[in-house]
Amino acid sequence: MRETAGRTPAEAARALDCVPAKISRIELGQSGVRLGDLRLLLDFYGADAEQVDWLVERRPTSGTGCGSWPPSSGRAAQHPE
């Protein structure tokens, strides 16, 4: 979603007031994401209400060490960006 929005990890990190490595860990599924941070990023990426609701329901709450965020298979792959 970040790439589709034309944003870099550095821009996302500035929006979240964190380091780009945190954005990378979130996207790689290596770190959870707080609800407020997720909403902020989704707003920054220009997500619509349906996308926000769908992704909030599926947000990782702790590092799983597998997969990527946001989900990229199944329904997520079909969900419009």
- pTM of this structure: 0.70
Residue 24's pLDDT band (boundaries 50, 70, 90)? very high
Answer for the pair 19, 50: CB distance below 8 angstroms, yes or no: no
Helix H segments across the chain? 9-16, 20-27, 35-44, 49-57, 75-78
> 26-79: per-residue pLDDT in tens?
889 888 888 999 999 999 999 999 999 998 888 766 554 444 445 553 444 344
Give the CATH number of domain 1-60. 1.10.260.40
Residue 30 to residue 65: CA distance in whole angstroms: 5
